[in-house]
Amino acid sequence: MADQDRERLLAGFADHLLRNRLADEKHGRYMVGWVRRFLGFPPPVPNATAEECLQEYLRALEREQAQDWQVEQARMAVTAWLAWRKGQAAAPPQTPKLRLAADRTVDPARALEAVTETMRVRHYSYRTEQTYLDWARRFFQYLVSTGNVSDGRPVLTEETFQSFISHLATRLRVAAGTQNQAFAAVLFLYRDVLGLEVGRLEDTVRAKRGHRLPTVLSTEEVQKLFDKMEGTPRLMAELIYGGGLRVMECCRMRVKDVDFGMNQLMVRGGKGDKDRSTLLPERLKPALRQHLERVRGLFEQDRAAKVAGVHMPDALERKLPHASTEWGWFWLFPSRSLSVDPRTNVVRRHHASDVSVQQAVAQAVAKAGIAKRVTPHTLRHSFATHLLVNGVDIRQVQELLGHANVETTMIYTHVAKGLRAPPKSPLDLLG
């Protein structure tokens, strides 16, 4: 199962737990976490039953010296998951949002509306929604430009799908990541919106993904970079490096996500819609407290002006209708000006833009004379690499980064090797 499909199912499972009052939000996250581990656990034997996999999973937890209550919680979580999935399999398939005409054509405008509706029902992020819509438009433009039309409307077949994806790799020579993005978007249009299958996906020409090591800054370069920054952009950059955050995770952070007492940052709804905790650097606490005092003034200003509350995740908007105007849910890094919510047309305060951080980092890199290609994400790479160099266990680094698989984290070990002091010969260690 692909990571994206798995996380989509886990999000549906979490919603099922809340909707049927099988768990509250907090315990629902724990249950989803146990199920996520279960899904990554190898079966004990080929063609093992779900029950056999569960029992072996629980025995593995016991071997890891998990507490009795943890093993029981894992058992309950996986049992609930298996029952839910069984119910899903027995349920009739969902009716497609839109159907093709008899000549396998579709009205592009109606198709784009159906894509938007389907994604909002499934709580996709606004950025993902816009990305998928853009690729759907480019797919329709490709069909028109290549003559795959009937009465002026695009013709959607297995062949036109595969032709478009192959075209991106062979003619446009896009990067593998770009093609994968287009592939996911158009596949969503076919399967989730139109209820169509696309045949043998292995016949599609795919762009080759090269093996690239991430760019990493030395600790000296990191300090040079921060010395050329100031104000809120510097604080955000330091938080990204200090906690290993993705830039949008930093931008979307709420006031309540900063736990001074536990020295933790809570990342909610990260990549794959996963929550995690990471490190809050001790040296950032004074600056963060001063920053929060300024942000509090902006919050009070909005409340006095009766500005609509901040954006909330869809499920919480329904469960906690007044939370959007509470201090804890206010953005840690709010924008300076109000804006119109593109989904609801409500005027409210959005979080800071990632572009502002990217621009500030780019300017600081130039001023510091750093020759490497550096973005805010480089600071996340540096966070992981520096932890490994300092002897932190790779599994712990994986959890702090929010990687689903340790294989993803392993790439930093190759970079870390070059930063460690070279080993000494055993002969040189003799007395």
Which residues form the catalytic set? 246, 271, 377, 380, 403, 412
CA 75 to chain centroid: 27
Contact predicate 4/184, CB 8 Å? yes
> HEC profile for 231-289?
HHHHHHHHHHHHHCCCHHHHHCCEHHHEECCCCEEEECCCCCCCCEEEECCHHHHHHHH
Contact predicate 247/354, CB 8 Å? yes
Query: In this structure, is the dihedral angle defined by the CA atoms of residues 423, 424, 430 and 431, taken in order, positive or negative?
Result: negative
> What DSSP line would sit under 60-76, residue for residue?
HHHHTT--HHHHHHHHH
Count Cα neighbours of 167 within 13 Å in the Cβ-side half-sphere: 14
Query: What is the CB neighbour count within 10 angstroms for residue 1?
Result: 9
CA distances from 348 to 69, 127, 312, 324 (A): 44, 18, 11, 10
**Which tokens is 61 given?**
């937890």
